[in-house]
Amino acid sequence: MAFDENDLRRRMSGAINSLKDEFIGLRTGRASTALLDTLKVDAYGSKMPINQVASLSTPEARLILIQVWDQTMVTGIEKSIRESDLGLNPQTEGSTIRIPIPELSEERRIELVKVAGKYSEQAKVSIRNVRRDIIENIRKLEKDSSISEDEKRDSENKIQNITDEFVKEIDNMLAQKEQDIKSV
C-alpha cells in the first residue's frame, strides 16, 4: 500500500473527535457541565478551563452549579460565562455560581441546528484536507516512479472509501444532534 492507512484513520478521527467536542458545547435544553468545557477563565496569569478552578455539578435537570475554590475567581468565571455565546445568565451567591438553563425557544433550536451543521461541515472539510494531502503524496510517489499507476489508482480508491466512511459518520452524528436539539 502506498500510504499508511492507520495514519489516515488517526488523522480523520481527529476531525470526528473535534466535532464531538463541538457538539457537547451545543446545549439541548438539559443541564450538562460539558456546556462549560470550552470556556476558559483568566486564572493566575493564564487561561484555564473552568473545571480546573471550580467543581461543576448538575443538581437539577435545568441547573448547573459551580462551586469556585478561590473566591477571587468568581467574577472572572461569571464574566466568561456571560460573554460566551451560550446565552446563559449566571447568578452568584458568595463562591457559588448558579446557572439556570432556560427552555430553548423554537427560534433558538433552529439557530442551534444551523450551528451544528456548520460544525459538521468544518469536520468534513478537515477530512477532505487529510484526503487531499495523502493523495498528493501518492501522486508524487507515482511521478517519482516509486509506485505504479495501478497502485496509485488502488490507493486513491481506498482513500476515497475511507473518506466516505468518515463523512457518513459525521452525517450520522449531525442527524443525532439535530434530533437532540429539536426534541423538547
Domain ranges of the chain: 5-23+105-182, 30-100
Over residues 116-169, the pLDDT tens digits come to: 999 999 999 999 999 999 999 999 988 888 888 899 899 999 999 999 999 999
Phi and psi angles of residue 47, each rounded to the nearest 5 degrees, phi first: -85, 125
Q: How far apart are CA 16 and CA 107, in angstroms?
A: 27
pLDDT by 10s per residue, the chain, length 184: 677 889 999 999 999 998 888 887 776 667 778 778 778 888 888 888 888 888 988 888 788 899 999 888 888 888 888 888 777 889 999 889 998 887 777 887 888 888 899 999 999 999 999 999 999 999 998 888 888 889 989 999 999 999 999 999 999 999 998 888 887 5
At the fourth CATH level, the homologous superfamily of domain 5-23+105-182 is Ribosome-recycling factor (1.10.132.20)
Please name which of 76, 70, 78 lies closest in space to residue 95, comparing C-alpha atoms: 70
pLDDT of amino acid 103: 78
| DSSP 8-state secondary structure symbol assigned to residue 153 | H
CATH of domain 30-100: 3.30.1360.40
Closest CA to 129 of 50, 51, 14: 14
The DSSP string of 86-152 is T----EEETTEEEEE-PPPPHHHHHHHHHHHHHHHHHHHHHHHHHHHHHHHHHHHHHHTTSS-HHHH
Task: Report pTM.
Answer: 0.69
Whether 150 contacts 88, CB under 8 Å? no
